[in-house]
């Protein structure tokens, strides 16, 4: 027989019950875990890839990609707020009374029923005992109320009433913090979205073309968005990432980036990120000039502007292109800007060149495997001075995608400066097929002048079939003594050299290896490979002679350096066949333009949350470090009864009771 | 009624000459630092330094052994600084630095002493030897002193590496693990004296030894003891408040978990005759959680305020923030059950033990398994 009244009452009972509050705390904790395990606010495509279409959709419906803003999560929070509020409502009057009350109406019978009580007999005047006891209790921090009773008097004392105040403070603090958090949340947008006033933009279009339905006006009370501004440019909007799209938030001002700076420690790690900005109002008047750094935001017009990230803002690149399979060594010029595309028409084919990024510096670990640390010297763990000898700035690099006419693209990452590896210098170019892979690097040797010219010349000569007979015959004549010139042996050698060169020009060492595997019996393969390699190296040296002669340069020296150059060149040429591009782009010069990633926040709830936090701190300390205790001393002629109570029975309480008992006994003596 | 009971004198009147000497030393140290280095500090850092002086003094007056610890650590650290003479290379040359009180040597000694203290506590408890237990207490104090010396000297060494590299040693997982050991040990030593019981040291030192094991692995396997310059996000005076407050929380939660374990063991009759009474363990456990909860609350709030300045929002539901909330909710529930329901006994002890796993995950697991903004101490 439930009447509406009793239903309301039992709802009230439930909401204000401890069990309910604890259950909510537990559910909240468990729900929070989800958001830490599942990466939040990723692009939806990533989730689709990770979970497959069925679970992707299921999780999307559950709001798991943005748990903390999901409706059900907010409902749990709301229940918590309601539960705590009801709890405060229910306990407030009683607690307030408790704080004020001395419980002076306590009867003799109820005092006698206390667990902590102690009786003492005494001989002198009750008044005098009461005076002493009152003095003692006040000295112990109690407030004492003295009451006369028919046959004597009663001292009612209390201490630590603030403990109850702590309860109010802490619990209203939680309510305040939740309210402040909701003020800074996206509830308004959610409501607008539900009612169809606003819609998330998912297309990749210029912000000026985003329609008003996906724009938020400057008077939006709370937002947190970000924007990337290249040096010398300005922005009057920020972007808010929502679900699988974004919203455009119009700002009440325009912010211009003058300069973005990165400071470095001597070890190369970044030390500080700073943006010099200027703020203009909508009439175009400059109203503020400031520098924003990490941990040092600028607050303008109630909007806090933070240094959040950085990127390339459209660096201009001056590039030399090499056609890797051309029989000549003549390069061609290319110009480009990061984040932009260029058509590339070359003898090797037509391509779209997409400049992805430019990095003015690269800190790379150039060290060998770390030496064992547990040597005898480091019993004490060694020096805390970082051994950063291996970390080195290897200079600028740029990334680009080369897309062929069929739309297939590979991504490249080329260093501008040569790198020293194993004591020799190379130009490095990395390549990968998909963004998940790491770059595989091809290295091209530099000549003693520090240029790629010799390698390119040699490459051209080796890949040029027209030069092959001359190379072969030079090789044969250099190898054989003069007496054997014109013999069958020379013809055989010439033939072998031509064959090896042709194979190599067709597919590098792989082609050579395949040939040996097909034509040479297994037992003789190693020997054949060694012979072919020797022929190839010597022929290549001759090719270099010819290439130099044709370029009107002095002949190459017959020294170790040339030997290494020849070997390295052969390795590089062989790698060209798996490099995946007929073009190598060498960065000559750049004009860097940086972009600063700023985050702009308007959070009206912040002060509410901070005030709530202050109350919470006070409340917690009052609750745990102020002990509420009450003491009664009922004095009748010749007879005194001490009773004590507390809302928390701890060992400290027992100790204090023992102390009061001792005091009473001393007074009564 | 011959005897008139005098109320306890107010704190200031109960102070001995040693209390005042200690306060004067603390103030002198703080003011010297302020006078010499004020041009390198911003207004907040000066505020923190000035507030540290009365905080130290009051802490020392309240917990007397701290005065001696403070003076010893200060004297030894200053001696080490003198040995350096502004030259980092002296670390490998000067005898005292190389073997005793360069930061790394001191921290390794701390590790060794904590290990010894653990063994001695167990020996003393199992063998019912009061002498061994007293020795263990002494070893723990020595470990604490050397650990603090290690951190102080490390602070100085970081400035020797480069004036712009220098920073308070609470910036990475290695440094905070040392801090964790020190805070947990000091909290235990406080309760040990207050409850006049040394047997629980055997249990508490187990969790410290585990942290020491981590420090050693982290040093020798990963070279984590190397001083690295701060990433821009950490270059803030907030770090000086947020991190220590957090570790008082973590330290006391760990302490309570070990006490919880002791409670459960004693209740099953294991070591029962050697451990203090269940009531005492229960009371200590409650106090540790209450202290930890208070400081953890402050630390989380400070963290939120710092986040508002560094990341643009006081709460971003970053994994570390979320796990801090989970830890907070966990102990909030624990305290509600105990204070409102008045529940005691094995259930709360189990809960405290499980709380250690939640806390450890928030402290370490998040760094290991989850990625986010707060990835300063990755493994």
| Residue A7, min C-alpha distance to chain B (Å) | 25
| Residue A49, min C-alpha distance to chain B (Å) | 19
Q: How far out from the chain centre does Cα B111 lie?
A: 14
* CB-CB neighbors (< 8 A) of A182 in chain B: none
Q: Which structure tokens are listed for B127?
A: 């063998």
Other CB atoms within 10 Å distance of the CB of residue B285: 26
Q: How far apart are CA A107 and CA A102, in angstroms?
A: 13
pLDDT category of residue A329 using cuts at 50, 70 and 90:
low
Decide if A226 contacts B313 (C-beta within 8 A).
no
Q: Are residues B232 and A273, on separate chains, in Cβ contact within 8 Å?
A: yes
Q: Are residues A266 and B162, on separate chains, in Cβ contact within 8 Å?
A: yes
pLDDT at residue number B169 = 95
Helix (H, G, I), strand (E, B), or coil: what is residue B67?
helix
Mutate to test the interface with B, among A64, A296, A380, A614 (most CBs of B within 10 A): A380
3-state helix, strand and coil shares in percent for chain A, rounded to the nearest 5: 45, 30, 25
With a CB cutoff of 8 Å and minimum separation 6, the contacts of A140 are: A159, B7, B8
Q: How far apart are CA A497 and CA A540, in angstroms?
A: 10
Other CB atoms within 10 Å distance of the CB of residue B147: 26
Decide if A508 contacts A575 (C-beta within 8 A).
yes
Decide if A441 contacts A397 (C-beta within 8 A).
no
Q: Are residues B8 and A139, on separate chains, in Cβ contact within 8 Å?
A: yes
pLDDT category of residue B224 using cuts at 50, 70 and 90:
confident
Mean predicted confidence (pLDDT) in A431-457: 89
* CB-CB neighbors (< 8 A) of A140 in chain B: 7-8
More confident residue, A98 or B67: B67
Q: Are residues A224 and B312, on separate chains, in Cβ contact within 8 Å?
A: yes
Secondary structure element (H or E) that encloses residue B66, with its range: helix B65-84
Computed over every residue of chain B, the mean pLDDT equals: 92
Query: Which of A310-314, A460-464, B55-59 reaches the highest mean pLDDT?
Result: B55-59
| Residue A622, min C-alpha distance to chain B (Å) | 10
Q: Looking at the DSSP assignment, which residues form a beta bridge with residue A323?
A: A583
Decide if A50 contacts A14 (C-beta within 8 A).
no
pLDDT at residue number A12 = 82
Q: How far apart are CA B212 and CA B201, in angstroms?
A: 16
| Residue A555, min C-alpha distance to chain B (Å) | 52
Q: Are residues B103 and A32, on separate chains, in Cβ contact within 8 Å?
A: no
Helix (H, G, I), strand (E, B), or coil: what is residue A658?
helix
pLDDT at residue A4 is higher than 60: no
Q: How far apart are CA B225 and CA A79, in angstroms?
A: 47
Q: Which of A521, A481, A480, A517 is nearest to A497 (CA)?
A: A480
Q: Are residues A273 and B333, on separate chains, in Cβ contact within 8 Å?
A: no
Model confidence over A136-158: pLDDT tens digits? Answer: 999 888 999 999 988 889 999 99
Decide if B310 contacts B376 (C-beta within 8 A).
no
If you search the block for the tokens 């619990």, which residue do you land on? Answer: A171
Model confidence over B230-265: pLDDT tens digits? Answer: 999 899 999 999 999 999 999 999 999 999 999 999
Query: For A210, phi and psi rounded to 5 degrees?
Result: -70, 125
* CB-CB neighbors (< 8 A) of B104 in chain A: 380-384
Mutate to test the interface with A, among B175, B228, B232, B359 (most CBs of A within 10 A): B232
Minimum-distance CB partner of B283 among A22, A36, A651: A651
Model confidence over A86-103: pLDDT tens digits? Answer: 989 988 898 899 888 898
Over the range A296-306, which residues count as b (16 or more CB within 10 Å of their CB) and which as e? bbbebeebbbb
Minimum-distance CB partner of B232 among A67, A294, A297: A294
Name which of A4-13, A471-480, B39-48, B185-194 the model is least confident about.
A4-13
pLDDT at residue number A479 = 85
Model confidence over A339-387: pLDDT tens digits? Answer: 999 988 777 778 899 999 999 888 777 654 443 333 333 444 456 666 5
The torsion defined by the Cα of B120, B124, B126 and B130, in degrees rounded to 10, comes to: 180
Q: Which of A99, A95, A81, A96 is nearest to A171 (CA)?
A: A81
pLDDT at residue B205 is higher than 80: yes
pLDDT at residue number B241 = 95
Q: Are residues B233 and A28, on separate chains, in Cβ contact within 8 Å?
A: no
Pick the residue from chain B with its C-alpha nearest to A30: B326
Q: How far apart are CA B183 and CA A299, in angstroms?
A: 38
Q: How far apart are CA A443 and CA A437, in angstroms?
A: 19
pLDDT at residue number A375 = 36
Model confidence over A555-570: pLDDT tens digits? Answer: 988 888 899 999 999 9
Q: Where are the domains of chain A?
A: 7-97, 101-160+627-668, 187-313+594-603, 316-321+333-447, 456-586
| Residue B256, min C-alpha distance to chain A (Å) | 16
Query: For B127, phi and psi rounded to 5 degrees?
Result: -90, 5
Computed over every residue of chain A, the mean pLDDT equals: 88
Pick the residue from chain B with its C-alpha nearest to A141: B7
CA distances from B357 to A164, A601, B16 (A): 32, 36, 43
* CB-CB neighbors (< 8 A) of A160 in chain B: none
Q: Which structure tokens are listed for B310?
A: 């560094």
Q: Which structure tokens are listed for B153?
A: 């000297």
User: What's the topology of domain A101-160+627-668?
Assistant: Double Stranded RNA Binding Domain (3.30.160)
Angle, nearest 10°, between helix axes A525-550 and A453-463?
Answer: 110
pLDDT at residue number A244 = 84
pLDDT at residue number A254 = 96
Pick the residue from chain A with its C-alpha nearest to B334: A22
Model confidence over A240-299: pLDDT tens digits? Answer: 988 888 999 999 999 999 999 999 888 778 899 999 999 999 898 999 999 999 999 999
| Residue B220, min C-alpha distance to chain A (Å) | 6
pLDDT at residue A571 is higher than 50: yes
* CB-CB neighbors (< 8 A) of A293 in chain B: 232
Mean predicted confidence (pLDDT) in B206-220: 94
Alpha helices in A521-605 (DSSP H): 525-550, 560-579
Model confidence over B275-315: pLDDT tens digits? Answer: 999 999 999 999 999 999 999 999 999 999 999 998 888 99
Decide if B175 contacts B151 (C-beta within 8 A).
yes
Decide if A228 contacts A278 (C-beta within 8 A).
no
Mean predicted confidence (pLDDT) in B192-211: 95
Q: Looking at the DSSP assignment, which residues form a beta bridge with residue A600?
A: A225, A305
Q: How far apart are CA A540 and CA A565, in angstroms?
A: 10
Secondary structure element (H or E) that encloses residue A494, with its range: helix A488-519
Minimum-distance CB partner of A381 among B88, B104, B366: B104
Q: Are residues B341 and A265, on separate chains, in Cβ contact within 8 Å?
A: no
Q: Are residues A22 and B333, on separate chains, in Cβ contact within 8 Å?
A: yes
| Residue A429, min C-alpha distance to chain B (Å) | 30
Q: Which of A669, A120, A125 is nearest to B3 (CA)?
A: A669
Decide if A274 contacts A260 (C-beta within 8 A).
yes
């Amino acid at each position: 027989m439930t009447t509406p009244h009793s239903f309301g009452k039992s709802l009230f009972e439930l909401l204000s019950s401890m069990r309910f509050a604890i259950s909510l705390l537990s559910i909240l904790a468990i729900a929070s875990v989800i958001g830490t395990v599942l990466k939040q606010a990723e692009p939806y495509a990533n989730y689709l890839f990770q979970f497959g279409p069925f679970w992707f959709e299921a999780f999307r419906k559950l709001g798991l990609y943005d748990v903390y803003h999901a409706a059900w999560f907010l409902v749990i929070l709301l229940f918590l707020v309601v539960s705590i509020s009801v709890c405060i409502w229910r306990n407030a009057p009683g607690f307030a009374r408790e704080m004020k009350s001395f419980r002076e109406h306590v009867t003799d019978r109820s005092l006698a029923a206390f667990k902590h009580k102690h009786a003492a007999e005494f001989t002198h005047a009750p008044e005098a005992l009461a005076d002493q006891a009152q003095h003692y209790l006040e000295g112990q921090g109690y407030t004492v109320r003295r009451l006369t009773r028919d046959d004597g008097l009663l001292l009612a004392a209390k201490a630590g009433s603030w403990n109850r105040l702590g309860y109010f403070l802490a619990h209203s603090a939680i309510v305040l913090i939740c309210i402040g958090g909701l003020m800074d949340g996206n509830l308004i947008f959610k409501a607008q979205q539900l009612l169809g006033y606003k819609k998330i933009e998912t297309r990749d279009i210029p912000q000026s073309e985003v329609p008003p339905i996906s724009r938020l006006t400057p008077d939006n009370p709370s937002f947190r968005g970000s924007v990337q501004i290249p040096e010398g440019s300005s922005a009057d909007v920020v972007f808010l990432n929502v679900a699988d799209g974004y919203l455009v938030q119009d700002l009440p001002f325009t912010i211009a980036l003058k300069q973005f700076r990165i400071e470095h420690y001597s070890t190369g790690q970044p030390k500080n990120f700073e943006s010099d900005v200027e703020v203009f109002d909508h009439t175009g008047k400059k109203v503020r000039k400031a520098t924003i750094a990490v941990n040092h935001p600028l607050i303008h017009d109630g909007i806090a502007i933070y240094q959040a990230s950085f990127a390339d803002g459209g660096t201009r690149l001056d590039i030399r292109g090499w056609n890797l399979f051309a029989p000549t060594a003549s390069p061609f010029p290319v110009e480009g800007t990061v984040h932009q595309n260029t058509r590339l028409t070359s003898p090797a084919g037509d391509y779209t060149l997409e400049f992805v990024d430019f990095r003015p510096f690269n800190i790379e670990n150039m060290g060998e495997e770390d030496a064992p640390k547990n040597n005898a010297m480091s019993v004490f763990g060694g020096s805390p001075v970082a051994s950063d000898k291996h970390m080195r700035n290897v200079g600028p690099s740029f990334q680009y995608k080369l897309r062929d006419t069929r739309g297939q693209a590979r991504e490249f990452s080329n260093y501008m400066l040569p790198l020293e590896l194993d004591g020799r210098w190379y130009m490095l170019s990395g390549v990968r097929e998909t963004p998940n892979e790491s770059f595989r690097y091809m290295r091209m040797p530099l000549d003693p002048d520090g240029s790629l010219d010799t390698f390119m010349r040699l490459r051209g000569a080796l890949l040029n079939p027209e030069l092959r007979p001359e190379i072969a015959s030079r090789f044969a004549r250099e190898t054989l003594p003069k007496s054997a010139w014109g013999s069958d042996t020379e013809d055989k050698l010439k033939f072998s050299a031509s064959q090896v060169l042709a194979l190599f020009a067709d597919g590098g060492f792989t082609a050579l290896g395949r040939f040996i595997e097909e034509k040479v019996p297994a037992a003789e393969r190693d020997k054949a490979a060694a012979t072919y390699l020797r022929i190839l190296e010597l022929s290549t040296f001759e090719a270099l002679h010819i290439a130099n002669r044709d370029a009107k340069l002095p002949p190459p020296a017959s020294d170790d350096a040339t030997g290494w150059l020849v070997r390295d060149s052969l390795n590089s040429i062989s790698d060209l066949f798996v490099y995946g591009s007929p073009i190598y782009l060498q960065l000559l010069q750049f004009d860097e333009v940086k972009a600063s990633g700023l985050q702009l926040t308007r959070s009206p709830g912040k002060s509410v949350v901070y005030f709530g936090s202050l109350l919470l701190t006070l409340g917690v300390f009052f609750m745990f470090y102020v002990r509420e205790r009450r003491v009664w001393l009922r004095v009748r002629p010749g007879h005194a009864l001490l009773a004590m109570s507390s809302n928390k029975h701890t060992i400290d309480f027992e100790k204090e009771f023992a102390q009061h008992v001792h005091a009473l006994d001393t007074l009564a003596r | 009624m011959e005897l008139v009971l005098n109320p306890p004198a107010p704190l200031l009147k109960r102070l001995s000459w040693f209390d005042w000497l200690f306060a004067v030393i603390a103030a002198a140290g703080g003011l010297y630092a302020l006078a010499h280095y004020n041009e390198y500090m911003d207004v907040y850092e000066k505020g923190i330094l000035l507030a540290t002086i009365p905080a130290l003094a009051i802490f020392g007056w309240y917990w007397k052994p701290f005065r001696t610890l403070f003076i010893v650590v200060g004297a030894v650290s200053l001696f080490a600084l003198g040995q350096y003479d502004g030259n980092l290379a002296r670390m490998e040359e000067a005898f005292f630095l190389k073997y005793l009180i360069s930061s790394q040597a001191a921290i390794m000694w701390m590790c060794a002493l904590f290990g010894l203290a653990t063994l001695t506590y167990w020996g003393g408890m199992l063998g019912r030897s009061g002498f061994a237990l007293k020795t263990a207490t002494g070893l723990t104090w020595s470990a604490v002193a050397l650990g603090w010396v290690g951190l102080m000297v490390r602070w100085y060494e970081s400035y020797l590496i480069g004036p712009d590299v220098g920073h308070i040693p609470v910036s990475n997982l290695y440094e905070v693990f040392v801090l964790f050991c020190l805070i947990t040990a000091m909290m235990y030593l406080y309760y040990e004296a207050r409850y006049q019981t040394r047997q629980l040291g055997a249990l508490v030192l187990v969790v410290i030894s585990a942290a020491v094991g981590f420090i050693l692995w982290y040093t020798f396997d990963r070279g984590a003891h190397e001083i690295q310059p701060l990433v821009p996000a950490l270059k803030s005076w907030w770090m000086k408040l947020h991190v220590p407050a957090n570790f008082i929380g973590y330290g006391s939660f760990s302490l309570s978990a070990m006490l919880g374990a002791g409670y459960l063991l004693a209740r099953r009759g294991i070591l029962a005759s050697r451990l203090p009474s269940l009531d005492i363990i229960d009371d200590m456990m409650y106090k540790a959680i209450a202290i930890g909860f208070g400081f953890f609350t402050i630390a989380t709030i400070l963290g939120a305020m710092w986040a508002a300045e560094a990341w643009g929002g006081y709460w971003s539901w970053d994994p570390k923030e979320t796990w801090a909330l989970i830890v907070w909710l966990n102990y909030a529930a624990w305290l509600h059950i105990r204070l409102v329901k008045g529940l005691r006994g094995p259930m709360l002890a189990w809960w405290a033990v499980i709380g250690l796993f939640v806390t450890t995950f928030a402290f370490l697991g998040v760094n290991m398994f989850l990625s986010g903004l707060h990835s300063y101490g990755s493994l």
